[in-house]
Amino acid sequence: MDGFVRVPVREQDAKERAKNFKEVCLGYNKEEAESEATRCLNCPNPKCVAGCPVSIDIPGFIQKVKEGNVEEAYQVISKSSALPAVCGRVCPQESQCEGKCVRGIKGDPVSIGKLERYVADTAREMGIKPEGAKEKKGKKVAVIGSGPSGLTCAGDLAKMGYDVTIFEALHEAGGVLVYGIPEFRLPKDAVVKKEIENVKSLGVKLETDVVIGKSVTIDELMEKEGFEAVFIGSGAGLPRFMNIPGEQAMGVFSANEYLTRSNLMKAFDENSTTPIMKAKKCVVVGGGNVAMDAARTALRLGAEVHVVYRRGEEELPARKEEVHHAKEEGIVFDLLTNPVEIHADENGWVKSITCIRMELGEPDESGRRSPVEIPGSEFEIECDAVIMALGTSPNPLISSTTEGLEVNRRKCIVAEEANGQTSKKGVFAGGDAVTGAATVILAMGAGKAAAKGIDEYLSK
């Protein structure tokens, strides 16, 4: 291998993996990781660090991998990230750290994500834990939501010495990591649960089945239970629909419901008691990572799957790797296509969907070219299930039960980007509850910024 080409990563064969829920990417072994690590130039002013939303010392940890010292590499990463085994798998590295890697100018960038995954997985096998606080501050902080932003904020505050309790609405911790991202991209027991255990090992307490705004309000946490600051990382779990005729038919799902059944309820498992639609032919509407996750899940449950997206290949918002894997597995992409009506049979079940061909018109304010319908180009796709993967917005329960908490017109909580401070004193927020649906790593970055903000607020 010359220094311009990255060490390839082993993957499950496409024909095999299309029938199972085992992890697609198999990661690096020791030799592969150390060989890839030698490609890092250890730049004096590393641009990759600036591309990382949680500012991991990337050359620092890669240097330790080169030396064969996984324990020290893990401690370097865990100073900045609470969830390295998760990030190594689901971060869009190609547009962040790897997108800034100097190696990428004349060849392949260093596989930073795969190296992070190697370090986290090896450290887990060796039983290595992150280092906790030297001394306690004796101040209580509540964290709402145990997704990526909540876990990151809680982990950072615990390392600073705060007494942190996470309140989770569902029966299992992890947020979108357990209910949104499929098993074949992110194993739940082997990876997510272990990362949560690491956060708990820092002294973080975790209470499940607590719906903030219903079980207890934010004001009650602060006034009656002695929490001096609160971080809201409740995510964006409210699905969006198209509001087209026939959308109420049976067999039409939000990607949220479909993926939650499959992931959190283990409906993909033959022995599960949770029902899930095992479609013969399924249409997934949308082009983001969630659409790819829903499509690839439906395929594994036995369906022929079509992804319908109103823009072209270049505009697909999903990660290139996800699109590549989906195509390898046999998913059909109907691009420049938009649904206009869903048709049901006499029993109310989906039987087909009418779509119209699109072309790209002039660029809009964001610079993206807007899709325009081609008159008279309607056609029908027969199907027995439709999954809408069109993004999500925050559930208004918390904002509607918290006096003085400002939200914008999209029902997202208004918070300062630099420190997570909301309009309510002592209350901070970050992640999808603030931005609307975004990536795991951006939610983690917001949790990190808020932990710093809470520390500054409580230190005054």
Average pLDDT over residues 147-163: 97
Token pair 């900045």: residue: 80
**pLDDT score recorded for residue 398:** 95
For residues 26 and 190, is the Cβ–Cβ distance under 8 A? Answer: no
Indicate the number of domains in the chain: 3
Nearest to 184 by CA among 328, 56, 307: 328
The number of beta carbons lying within 10 Å of the beta carbon of residue 75 is 18
The number of beta carbons lying within 10 Å of the beta carbon of residue 189 is 8
In this predicted model, which residue has the larger pLDDT, 113 or 362? 113
Domain around 288: 241-390
In this predicted structure, which of 224-233, 263-272, 350-359 has the lowest mean pLDDT? Answer: 263-272
The model carries a pTM of 0.93
* Residue 417 token pair: 């980007």
Same domain assignment for residues 398 and 385: no
Phi, psi angles (nearest 5°) of residue 104: -70, -10
* Residue 110 token pair: 């260093």
Same domain assignment for residues 204 and 298: no
Sign of the dihedral through C-alpha 286, 290, 291, 292: positive
**pLDDT above 70 (res 1):** no
Q: Would residue 350 count as lying in a domain?
A: yes
Same domain assignment for residues 381 and 411: no
| pLDDT band at residue 413 using 50, 70 and 90 as cut-offs | very high
* Greatest Cα pair distance in the chain: 70
* Residue 334 token pair: 């109907």
Residue 310 belongs to domain with CATH number:
3.50.50.60
Q: Would residue 335 count as lying in a domain?
A: yes
**pLDDT above 90 (res 255):** yes
The number of beta carbons lying within 10 Å of the beta carbon of residue 314 is 8
* Residue 250 token pair: 């049976």
Same domain assignment for residues 253 and 328: yes
Same domain assignment for residues 224 and 261: no
Strand partners, 373: 358
Same domain assignment for residues 362 and 348: yes
Same domain assignment for residues 150 and 86: no
Same domain assignment for residues 225 and 276: no
Examine the fold and report which residue of 98, 125, 152 is the final residue of a domain before the chain moves on: 125
Q: Would residue 81 count as lying in a domain?
A: yes
**pLDDT score recorded for residue 417:** 95
**pLDDT above 80 (res 3):** no
Examine the fold and report which residue of 61, 92, 125 is the final residue of a domain before the chain moves on: 125
148-160 and 193-200 are packed helices; what angle lies between their axes, rounded to 10 degrees?
A: 30
Q: Would residue 25 count as lying in a domain?
A: yes
| pLDDT band at residue 270 using 50, 70 and 90 as cut-offs | confident
Same domain assignment for residues 256 and 378: yes
Provide the CA 194 distance to its chain's centre, in angstroms.
17
Residue 89 belongs to domain with CATH number:
1.10.1060.10
Same domain assignment for residues 231 and 289: no
For residue 296, CA distances in Å to 25, 160, 299, 390 come to: 14, 41, 5, 16
Q: Would residue 336 count as lying in a domain?
A: yes
* Burial (CB count within 10 angstroms: exposed 0-12, middle 13-18, buried 19+), residue 421: buried
Q: Would residue 132 count as lying in a domain?
A: no
Sequence-distant (6+) residues with CB within 8 A of 187 are 23
Same domain assignment for residues 117 and 178: no
Same domain assignment for residues 112 and 14: yes
- Distance of alpha carbon 342 from alpha carbon 335, whole angstroms: 18
Q: Would residue 446 count as lying in a domain?
A: yes
Token pair 């971060």: residue: 91
Query: With pLDDT > 70 as the criterion, what percentage of the chain qualifies?
Result: 100
Q: What's the pLDDT tens digit per position in 172-204?
A: 999 999 999 999 999 999 999 999 999 999 999
Q: Would residue 2 count as lying in a domain?
A: no
**pLDDT above 60 (res 101):** yes
Examine the fold and report which residue of 364, 390, 416 is the final residue of a domain before the chain moves on: 390
For residues 223 and 421, is the Cβ–Cβ distance under 8 A? Answer: no
Provide the CA 169 distance to its chain's centre, in angstroms.
18
SS3 string, the chain, reads CCCCCCCCCEECCHHHHCCCCCCCEEECCHHHHHHHHCCCCCCCCCHHHHCCCCCCCHHHHHHHHHCCCHHHHHHHHHCCCCCHHHHHHHCCHHHCHHHHCHHHHCCCCCCHHHHHHHHHHHHHHCCCCCCCCCCCCCCEEEEECCCHHHHHHHHHHHHHCCEEEEECCCCCCCCHHHHCCCCCCCCHHHHHHHHHHHHHCCCCEEECCCCECCCECHHHHHHCCCCCEEEECCCCCEECCCCCCCCCCECEEEHHHHHHHHHCCCCCCCCCCCCCCCCCEEEEECCCHHHHHHHHHHHHCCCEEEEEECCCHHHCCCCHHHHHHHHHCCCEEEECEEEEEEEECCCCEEEEEEEEEEEEEEECCCCCEEEEECCCCCEEEECCEEEECCCEECCCHHHHCCCCCCECCCCCECECCCCCEECCCCEEECCHHHHCCCCHHHHHHHHHHHHHHHHHHHHC
**pLDDT score recorded for residue 313:** 93
